[in-house]
Each structure stands twice: as C-alpha cells, then as structure tokens.
Copies of this chain bind each other. A is one copy, B any other.
Amino acid sequence: MSADATDQPAAPGSSRRLDDPTYRRAVLELLGLLAHGELQAYGRITSDAAEAPDLHGRVRLSELAVEEYRHFELLRGRLVDLGADPIEAMTPFVDVFDEFDARTTPGDWWERLVKAYVGYGIANDFYREIARLLDPQSRELVEEALLSPGHSEYVVSVLLQATAADERLSARLSLWGRRLVGEAVGLAQSALTRYPGLLYLLELGEAEGDVSASAIISRLMGEHTHRMERLGLTA
C-alpha cells in the first residue's frame, strides 16, 4: 500500500500505528483528556451524591461516580502500558472543564441530576466520536472505558417521575438541558481545534471523508435530543 505512495501523502489509515510518533502523541493526548475527564466526572458526581435528598439517591449516584473512577483506572492503565506518565498526560487538561462548570452551576438537586445525565452523556458521546478516529486496539479500550453500567437508570427514573408530576419543573429542566448542550457543544468545538493531537486525528478522519467536525457536532446534538426525550424533556 505504501510502496507505490512515496510521492504522495500516506493513506490515512496507515498513519494509525502507535510506532508513528505523531499518531502516538495524538493517542496519548486523547487518553490524557479522557482520563482526566473521567477523574473529574467521578469527583463531580460524588459531590452531587452528597446533595441527594435521601440515602437511596446518594448510594445510586455514588455507584455512578465510582464507575467513572473505574473508567479512569482503565484509561490510566492504558497510558502506563504505552509507556506514558498518566499525570503528565492529564496535566494539559486540568482546567478544560472549569469554564463549562462555571457556566453551568446547578441551582438545585434536579438540575444536578440533569447535568450529571446530560452533561456526561454528551461528554461520552464526544469521546466515542474521537475514538472512531483511532486504531482498533485503542478504540476498543476507549469504548470499553465508556461503557455505561446502567446506574444512570436511576437518574432517568427519578427525573421522569418528577417531571411527569410537575409541568413547571419540566419546562425549567428543558431550558436547563438546552443551556447544558449549548455550553457542551461549544466546549467540544473548541477542544477539536485547541489540542494539536485531536486536530491531527480529526484531519486524518476528514482525509478519509467520513468524519468532519460538523458531522460530529450534528451527531452529538442528535444523541442529546434522544437523551432529553428519555427524560421526558424537550430538547
């Protein structure tokens, strides 16, 4: 394949090998972003759990949070396997969600639940989109790390029950969901241009013609709409 391609750029797929330094750097960057994202999600959902109105909700949200921590452990393990220092790989991303969080501070328990479900849903969809740009082995690992164990069913059922009984709450949370998705999509768009590794992966994918930043954003919006419907809310 590359034998007759010496006078033109290598076919995109051929660069997705971990012995290619540029690709390897991009993968480490992505894994660092994901690992930090999962660590942050664990911390945030744990603090949501502390605000739960009852012990049942506290336990359910804690389960969800610790699952995020397990994702973090998987991703960190992969970084170690690749010979990278996980702390170093995560460091560029320590403030990536800060602005998002500052703009989307939940006003009450319901907004916390919606943010946990919708916000991390969008984040996971985004990670999954980027994973499609990876070599099969890395993609499999990322997809495994993003597998949801179903603890979010609690969030869905509690929210469905609450919004079915209260139209004003339902309207308010629909609005809240729109604000969350707007901020999240803005964050995703800026991440795709801000980090050289992500940009490189995106360019590789675009060269293959089946991936583009706008297609990613459009799929994120579609998934968000489904998610809001599952909560009985208007996207």
With a cutoff of 8 Å between Cβ atoms, the chain B residues found around residue A87 in the complex are: 55-56, 59
Min Cβ gap A47→B in Å is 6
A199 within 8 A of partner (CB)? no
Smallest distance from the beta carbon of A127 to chain B beta carbons, Å?
Answer: 19
Minimum Cβ distance to chain B for residue A88 (Å): 9
The secondary-structure label for the interface of chain A is: helix
Max chain B CB contacts within 10 Å: which of A43, A86, A90, A94?
Answer: A43
Residue from A39, A46, A58, A94 having most chain B Cβ neighbours under 10 A: A46
Q: Which residue of B lies closest to A54 (CB)?
A: B87
Interface residues as binary, A79-109 with B (CB distance below 8 Å gives 1, 0 otherwise): 0000000110011001000000000000000
Q: A42 to B62, Cβ gap below 8 A?
A: yes
Interface contact A59-B46, CB-CB below 8 Å: no
Q: Does A69 contact B (CB under 8 A)?
A: yes
* Beta-carbon contact of B39 and A43 below 8 Å: no
**Alpha-carbon distance between A39 and B46 when the two chains are bound, in angstroms:** 10
Instruction: Report A49-79 CB contacts with B as 1/0, cut-off 8 Å.
Output: 1100001101100100110010010000000
How many whole Å from A49's CB to the nearest CB in chain B? 6
Tell me how far the C-beta of A21 lies from the nearest C-beta in chain B, rounded to whole angstroms: 25
Of B50, B56, B90, B91, which is within 8 A of A43 by CB? B50
CB contacts (< 8 Å) of A42 on chain B: these are 46, 62, 66
Query: CA of A119 to CA of B218 in the docked complex: distance in angstroms?
Result: 50
CB-based nearest B residue for A40? B50
> Are the CB atoms of B46 and A58 closer together than 8 Å?
no
Q: CB within 8 A of A59: which of B39, B47, B50, B58?
A: B39
| Chain B residues, Cβ within 8 Å of A50 | 43, 47
Complex interface: chain B residues within 8 A of A36 (CB): 55
Instruction: Using A43-B46, A46-B43, A46-B46 as known contacts, say yes or no to A62 and B69 having CB atoms under 8 A apart.
Output: yes
A-B CB proximity, top 7 nearest: A46-B46, A43-B50, A66-B69, A55-B87, A56-B87, A43-B46, A55-B90
Q: A: which residues have CB within 8 A of B?
A: 36, 39, 42-43, 46-47, 49-50, 55-56, 58-59, 62, 65-66, 69, 72, 86-87, 90-91, 94
27 contacts between A and B (CB under 8 A): A36-B55, A39-B58, A39-B59, A39-B62, A42-B46, A42-B62, A42-B66, A43-B46, A43-B47, A43-B49, A43-B50, A43-B62, A46-B46, A46-B47, A46-B65, A47-B47, A47-B50, A55-B87, A55-B90, A55-B91, A55-B94, A56-B87, A59-B86, A59-B87, A62-B69, A62-B72, A66-B66
